[in-house]
Amino acid sequence: MNLRLPLLRYALWLAIFAAVGCGRKSTGQVAHEASSPSMSPGMAPARSSAVAPSTTPLPGANQSPSSDLAQLETKVRPAVIWVSVFDAKGDLLRTQSGFFISPDGRFVTTERTIEGGVNAVAKTADGGIYNVSGILAASKALDLAVLQADVKQAAFVEPNKSGNLSQGAGVVLVGSALAGNEGNAREATIVSLGSERLEITGATPLSAVGSPIVNKDGQVVGVVTSAGERTGAHPSAALDSLLSRVAVNTHPTWPATAEASATPRASPKPRLVYAPAPAFPPRAAQPGVSGTGRFRLSFDTQGNVTNIQLIQSTGNRLFDESAINTLRQWKCAPGQGGAVTVPVTFRVR
């Protein structure tokens, strides 16, 4: 989410109305030529390979500690992600760190990250943007949550299951590469250890909340839950406790999912009479920048938009804002009401 010299801009905007009709097919498409391929909604190719815990100790006496740290950071960091959570209006609630714990897209962050959210996207350091399909388990008491992202193959780290954690042990905190220098790996020492909480030495920035604390083998021994002069975390035992609540057939959901999915079957099919294309945000014009999102519009009987729900973010705050601001102006034929889901794609060459 992060302007360069003026460049030739193209905006590709595509609106497909699955539920639009009222007795005839809607053309519902407005497109401008663009030379680069479009990104699938909320998705990007996964270019990382799985990060499995190593059983081989870090190189020893003939290497410096900084070399050991760099190797460990290279091993763990591809699994650390940036999680952006949105409310029912499509507004960004917060962005925080998290990390994948399985190759199929299961990831961990704090419970506070997802509070009030109905949708989210997970961003990886290699440019991947993935829709988060829902929550698998969450605990306010532990301030931990397990969610599912739509990823075919993700880099991941595993929790330490040996339980051989002790006060005074050396560990490493690894943040997201998307957090800039704040995400750089740093060595620390466990100064306090309990069954549900541990503390490590050194101050930690707010962006590190949700990041993993790992041992020398790259296994997760804790999850950062508070920042400041003393870094607080929950140990891997607390994470294991939460993961044990997730059954094999658990289906990821968001709090508003049930109501939203039932609406299309019960609602009439509005006929759009005014549907301007969202403008391309000038501040987002960078070569290769693109994004696709899905927005659900609800209309009253006067034909006005009463609510816009962000089903899937474009992965770019400026794109989302432009789409929502324009979609609010849409009109359907009076006397109908109802709802439609609209995919919107932005691209610049």
Residue 100 lies in a domain: yes
Residue 96 lies in a domain: yes
Residue 339 lies in a domain: yes
Which helix H or strand E contains 189, and what residues bound it? Answer: strand 186-193
| Residue 302 near residue 333, CB atoms below 8 Å | no
Residue 85 lies in a domain: yes
Residue 209 lies in a domain: yes
Judged by phi (left if over 0) then psi (alpha if -120 to 50, else beta), residue 121 lies in: beta
Same domain, 236 and 124: yes
C-alpha to C-alpha distance for 58 and 158, rounded to whole angstroms: 17
DSSP letter for each residue of 53-88: PP-SPPP-TTS-HHHHHHHHHHHHGGGEEEEEEE-T
Same domain, 96 and 237: yes
| Residue 78 near residue 183, CB atoms below 8 Å | no
Same domain, 96 and 189: yes
**CATH number for position 238:** 2.40.10.120
Q: Which structural domain range is residue 326 located in?
A: 1-43+268-349
Same domain, 160 and 19: no
Q: What was the pLDDT predicted at 349? A: 55
C-alpha to C-alpha distance for 70 and 73, rounded to whole angstroms: 5
Question: With a cut of 50, which residues of the chain have pLDDT below it?
Answer: 1-65, 257-267
Q: What was the pLDDT predicted at 336? A: 67
Residue 14 lies in a domain: yes
**CATH number for position 276:** 3.30.2420.10
Calculate the average pLDDT of the chain.
76
C-alpha to C-alpha distance for 30 and 36, rounded to whole angstroms: 17
Sign of CA dihedral 117, 118, 122, 128: negative
User: Three-class SS of residue 123?
Assistant: strand
> Would the pTM count as exceeding 0.75?
no
Q: What was the pLDDT predicted at 122? A: 92
Q: Which of 243, 258, 293 is the last residue of a domain?
A: 243
pLDDT in tens, 274-306: 888 888 887 776 766 788 888 888 888 888 988
Same domain, 115 and 207: yes
Same domain, 39 and 69: no
Residue 223 lies in a domain: yes
Same domain, 75 and 200: yes
Same domain, 111 and 32: no
Domain count, the chain: 2
Q: What was the pLDDT predicted at 154? A: 92
Same domain, 36 and 77: no
